Amino acid sequence: MKDPIDLRSDTVTLPPLNMRKAIARAQLGDDVYGEDPTVNDLERMVARKLGKEAALLTPSGTMANLLAILSHCSQRKRLLVGDLSDIWKWEAGGASLLGGLVYDPLPTQPNGEIAIAAMEAALYGEQDFQRVPAGLICLENTHCWCGGKALSLEYLARVYEFAQRRSLPVHMDGARLFNAAVSMGMDVRQIATFADSVTICLSKGLAAPVGSVLAGRSSFINNARRLRKMLGGGMRQAGIVAAGGIYSLEQMVDRLSEDHANALLLAQGLAEIPGIEISLELPHTNIVFFTLADHELSLKYFLYSLENEGVRVSELGRRRLRAVTHYGVSPEDIKFAVEAVGRALARTRAAALPVAEDFQPWHQEAEGPLEMTTLVP
């Protein structure tokens, strides 16, 4: 049995053999003492690429974002964040729970932007002592929930100018910033220039097993380094992690264009399947959202059948299916996945399960039970 084509996320990427070799060869030291040469190399490399003074390796993007927020804001400040951002939706409320900060989730437009007018409205009447003063603006680029949209430079410049006028720092959650840069044919530095701090993830499409990096001014990174220790993110021979990251940045960036081409292929293929609903606006990068046009069909059963066909996608938001292309997924895999979606949809229609009950694996549907080969027990 072939391994399933796993399109749930680009976090499922496994390190290439040569990356593993680079990890094995890495020079190591104690990074809490600042003595791991490979970590120091990675941090300098990221700072240089992003045009920032300094950078800091973290175990995850969630921690990098949290450190950025805590380093920019003292307690009792308010974060202007998109209501569909990772920071607001999927980072477990760390800024409130650990930082004494208040989230102010603002409407996200379909292209991933927060309208400047919405920020302006959120800042209206700041002087009133009844309000929690704003402390930071957070943007996400590319925007995951909005289908991997890259924010335009023109928008970023306007936000940055607006923020500077209000003396507010801007943090960019650039978990997939390299996808943005590659899709726009630009250097990441040109994008990062419109933010005071930037998070990048090494462990998504760049295929490193672990790690994210936060970049910004030296004083800001010094502060973040102290907070990283507080949160338990001070890692010792972290060059093991950093070596993978260096390999990612040297070898895995340019190939992201293959993922973008595959996402386009996938979107086009899915759009041809009657019964699949997909935004006709083509993906900018590596994320494709789609749904079943017939809301009476059991989505759980569809996912189960698709998995049985050897393809995995995820549900991100109610009845929103997400497929992400990444290292290890080929154009042939995409062709296979499109056909599998067609078959799983036909099977779902045939099963005609009432949505009210929705499908549970213990259902014995009319066709007889499916052979489960890939679902975890």
Ligand X SMILES: *Cc1c(COP(=O)(O)O)cnc(C)c1O
Residues 11-34 as b/e (b if ≥16 CB within 10 A, e otherwise) read: ebbebbeebeebbeebebbebeee
CB 211 within 8 A of CB 245: yes
In this structure, the number of other CB atoms found within 10 A of the CB of residue 338 comes to 21
Whole-angstrom Cα distance, residue 297 to residue 103? 36
- Between residues 212 and 291, which has the closer beta carbon with respect to ligand X? 212
Residue with smaller CB distance to ligand X, 56 or 292: 56
Helix (H) or strand (E) holding 266: helix 256-271
Report the nearest approach of ligand X to the CB of residue 65 (Å): 6
The residue among 62 and 291 lying less far from ligand X, judged by its C-beta, is 62
Nearer to ligand X, 203 or 291 (CB): 203
| Shortest spacing between CB 63 and ligand X, in angstroms | 7
Rounded CA separation 5/374 (Å) = 11
Q: How far is the CB of 186 from ligand X (least distance, A)?
A: 19
Name which of 36 and 173 has its Cβ closer to ligand X: 173
- Give me the least distance between CB of 142 and ligand X, in Å please: 8
For the chain, list the strands marked E by DSSP.
5-6, 54-58, 78-82, 102-106, 134-140, 170-174, 197-201, 212-216, 276-277, 287-292, 311-312, 314-315, 321-324
Strand blocks (E) in 156-211: 170-174, 197-201
Nearest to 311 by CA among 298, 325, 295: 325
Are residues 79 and 95 in contact, defined by beta-carbon separation less than 8 angstroms?
yes
284 or 347: CB nearest ligand X? 284
Instruction: For ligand X, give the closer residue by CB, 177 or 341.
Output: 177
Sheet holding 314-315, edge to edge: 276-277, 287-292, 321-324, 314-315
Cβ of residue 176: shortest distance to ligand X, in angstroms? Answer: 6
Report yes or no: 322 and 287 within 8 Å, Cβ to Cβ. Answer: yes
Least Å distance, CB 324 to ligand X, is 10
CB of 356 to ligand X, least distance (A): 33
Please say which residue, 123 or 213, places its beta carbon nearer to ligand X. 213
Q: Which residue is nearest to ligand X (CB)?
A: 61
Query: Given the rule CB under 6 A, which residues bind ligand X?
Result: 60-62, 65, 86, 140, 144, 173, 175, 201, 203, 212
Shortest distance (Å) from residue 64 CB to ligand X: 8
Task: Closer to ligand X by CB, 40 or 60: give it.
Answer: 60
Tell me whether the omega of the peptide bond preceding residue 142 falls within 30 degrees of 0, making it cis.
yes
Q: Of 315, 309, 265, which Cα lies nearest the Cα of 290?
A: 315
Please give the C-alpha separations between residue 31 and each of 200, 250, 319, in angstroms, as whole numbers.
20, 22, 44
As a dihedral over the C-alpha atoms of residue 376, residue 264, residue 179, residue 28, rounded to 10 degrees, the angle is 40
CB of 173 to ligand X, least distance (A): 5
